[in-house]
Every structure is written in structure tokens, then in C-alpha cells.
Amino acid sequence: MMKRLLAICMMCLVLLGAAGFAEAAWQPELLVSLGTKGTTLRLSSGNTPVVLKRLDNKKIVWQGKAGEFATLTFAGTGWELNGRKLKYADAATLELTVADERNLAKLISTYDNKSYRGALRLVPRRDGLHLINRVTVEEYLQGVVPEEMPAEWNAEAVKAQAVAARTYALRQRKRHAKEGFDVCATTHCQQYGGVAVERSASNQAIKATHGQVLQSHGALVDALFHTDSGGMTENSEDVWGSRIEYLRAAKELRTETYPWEKNITAQQLSGLLAKRGRNIGELKKIELSPIRIGKAEKDRTVSGRVRTVTFIGKSGRASVTGNDLRSMLGLKSTLFSMSLNRNVVFVKGYGWGHGLGMSQYGAKAYADSEHWDYKRILQHYYHGVELKKLY
């Protein structure tokens, strides 16, 4: 009886251990749009056997050996594989994937010599094939983090970037749901370059923070980041118009960073204003207080960014927000000064980006000079958030 009881206990421990491993191995997936390509693709699966299956009924229409290449063409009403009609495929959406989904993270899908981790979904459209990469989050990050921050930077800054990018991606899931995917591969969501951009240092940062995300009151935060704040990040309401408690202005170790300049003629500026229904005639004067980082004015936010600029001309005057001017003139940030001299408007500023959330160069400075770890960096830029291990 005692031996039987011991055997049952041992079996329970084994089952619990297996369940714990399965749970630890799980992670969310993302559908990432790679854009619309031509109607013919040369596919390969690297060192993993693959299957090509219909998305609607999961029927396998082709099986490929490891390292095997295949040319797939959508011929308008159906698919062709290596020049022959592909049976049972019809005009359905197909997916190049693994037979056993537990091995999805090990798969590298290649089309036309461009490689991405995970499965490759092929959606027929009138203008070509829309490609969607179905990928586990940690493998997705390997193609994101080195695109957003240099992998050779201080490891703690790169870890902070990994957590921010992971949180942002999961928060943005379903952003493009109506288009059939979660996120795109451009700066509209996050820059994603696949296997070609991966670096060992950034992979180590991703591994060190595996599954870690930022939360506020139990919900994922909108973990925004930008290149450089210029000296102080911004409050959300001064960019978006609404207050978000974790997107508060944060001071930097250094100020007046990432300086830039741009000049435009007074005539050109007046013309741009006129196109937007603000006809002031010949520009005569610009009203804007001087930059004082960390000092709010009537026309500047608490960080010193431009809230509004007033242009006075022969035919009238117009007040324009800093955000509108940034878009109109293609400025790097809204932390700038403007002056008029001999019919030329001189714009001088600092920083690059919207100024919300984490400044990437700021994170590097704190990691390099103050020896902050990634947790402290994140707490500095995202006010009051909690770092949680999601999976």
C-alpha cells in the first residue's frame, strides 16, 4: 500500500512539473503585416519541415522538407506551386507553418531571401499577396529591439527598451484588426526587420526580461518611447489633450540634447498657413517666448515645448499649436524657438520625437553615467507603473 501511494505521489509530481513547463513555454502570438508583395514568392523554411495549409479549414495542401525551396504563385483564381496547379488550395488564404504548433518559435520562414521567425500567412488580394507574419512575442522582439535602439548600447538601457517594446506590442494588439492583423512592421506601430536585423546583445536583453511588461492598475500601459527628449519628457495632455497618469513629464540627466535647425522663408511659411485657411498675408512678426527647459509659460508646456506660436502679418494674425507646426514644417520635435530675420524664419530646437514616455538617449545616459538598472529607468519614465511578469 505504501509503495503504491509513493508511486502515485511521484506521478503527481511529474505531471505538475510537466504542466509547469508547458505554462512557462507559452507566450502570446502576434499577427504582423509585412505589406503587399507581388503574386509570386520563393518560399523556404530553413532547417525545419513545414506544411502549407488553408487558413479556413486547416487542410494541408503541401508538405515541405527542411531547406526545401518552392515557388508559389497566385494565378487569380487559384494557386500554383512550382508551375503546377496546387490541388485543394482554390483561392483560399494559405499559411506556411509547422505541423506541430508547439514548434512555432523554432520556425524561420523565408520569402524572396527575407527571413522572419514564425509562420507566414499569404492573403490573396487584387494588387498582390498580403503577407502576415504569425510570430510569438519574444521572437518578434528579436526583430524589433535592435531596430528601435542600438544593440551595442548599455545593456540596462536595451533591457528597458525590450520591456517597453513588449508592453507596447501587446497593448497595441488588434490595432489593425479590421485589416486582418495586429500590428504593422513600420514606425506606425514598431519598426520590425525580422531575422536580418537581429543582434546577440539585444537578444540577451530580451531573454533577461522574458515576459516582463509594464502595468497600471492591472492593465498594460501605452509604453511610448522616442529618440531624445531634448532635456525633459512631456505630459500626455500637452501632446494628446488627455491626462494619462503614467505619462508624466520627467527630467533628464542632460538638457539641450540632440540640437537641430531648420530655416524657411517667410513667404513659404505664409503660404503654408494660407493653405490651412489662415491667411495672414506678408509675415511681419513671430510671438514666442524663449526656450527654458522645465519652465512653463503661457505659450509653452512644463517641459518648455511649444504650446502655441502666434504669427502676425499684414492681413491678420494666426495662432498655431506646436504639434501642428511640427507636422507642417517637418520638425524633429516641438521643443524649439522661432525668429524672423530678413524674411527668413529660423527654427532652432532640441530632441527628436513626440516627447512622451521613455527617451532612448535619456535612458542610455542614466544607464551609462548613473548606473541605473532597467527597472529604475522604466520607473523614471513611466510614473507609478508596476513591472510584472506576464508569462
pLDDT of residue 5: 42
pLDDT class for 25, splitting at 50, 70, 90?
A: low
C-alpha cell of 191? 519598426
Give the model confidence (pLDDT) of 302-356 as tens digits. 999 999 999 999 999 999 999 999 999 999 999 999 999 999 999 999 999 999 9
Residue 18 has pLDDT above 80, yes or no: no
Q: Is residue 24 part of a domain?
A: no
Rg (CA), the chain: 26
In a domain, 367, yes or no: yes
Q: Residue range 89-109: average pLDDT?
A: 94
Which grid cell is 334? 516641438
1 in a domain, yes or no? no
Query: What is the C-alpha to C-alpha distance for residues 30 and 32, in angstroms, rounded to an integer?
Result: 6
Give the domain-ending residue among 109, 135, 161: 135
Shared domain for 214 and 300, answered yes or no, is no
Would residue 5 count as lying in a domain? no
Q: Are residues 233 and 107 in the same domain?
A: no
Helix-strand-coil percent breakdown of the chain, rounded to 5?
30, 30, 40
Are 115 and 168 in a shared domain?
A: no
Statement to judge: residues 44 and 154 lie in one domain: no
Domain boundary among 78, 108, 135: 135
pLDDT at 126: 87
Question: Does 23 have pLDDT greater than 50?
Answer: no
Q: Are residues 317 and 361 in the same domain?
A: no
Does the residue 18 lie in any domain?
A: no
Residue 302 CB contacts under 8 Å (≥ 6 apart), including other chains: 232, 234, 235, 238, 249, 294, 295, 296
Q: Both 129 and 229 in a single domain?
A: no
| Rounded Cα gap, residues 258 and 256, in angstroms | 7
Specify whether 168 is located in the same domain as 304.
no
Same-domain status, 249 and 161:
yes
**Average pLDDT in the 195-213 region?**
98
Of 192, 211, 210, 202, the C-alpha closest to 154 is 202
Length of the chain, in residues: 391
Q: Is 267 helix (H, G, I), strand (E, B) or coil?
A: helix
Overall average pLDDT of the 365-389 stretch: 98
3-state secondary structure of 339: strand
Count of the separate structural domains present in the chain: 3
Tell me, yes or no, whether 248 and 162 share the same domain. yes
371 Cβ contact partners less than 8 Å away, ≥ 6 residues apart: none
Cell numbers found for residue 90: 482554390
Nearest to 221 by CA among 207, 204, 236: 236
Considering Cα of 280, then 283, then 285, then 291, what sign does the dihedral take? positive
249 and 378 in a common domain: yes
- pLDDT tens digits, one per residue of 106-161: 999 999 999 999 999 999 998 899 999 999 999 999 999 999 999 999 999 999 99
Same domain? For 274 and 294 the reply is: yes
* Mean pLDDT on 62-91: 94
What grid cell was written down for 5? Answer: 501511494
Q: Do 364 and 281 reside in the same domain of the chain?
A: no
**Integer CA distances (angstroms), 308 to 146, 279, 300, 320, 326, in order:** 36, 17, 7, 5, 11
Q: Would residue 124 count as lying in a domain?
A: yes
Q: 99: domain range?
A: 29-135
Determine, yes or no, domain membership for 233: yes
Q: Note whether residue 4 is domain-resident.
A: no
Helix axes 155-171, 360-369, angle to 10 degrees: 150
Extract the C-alpha cell encoding 87. 490541388
- Per the rule left: phi > 0, alpha: psi between -120 and 50, beta: everything else, 380 is alpha
In what side-by-side order are the strands of the sheet with 283-287? 283-287, 308-313, 316-321
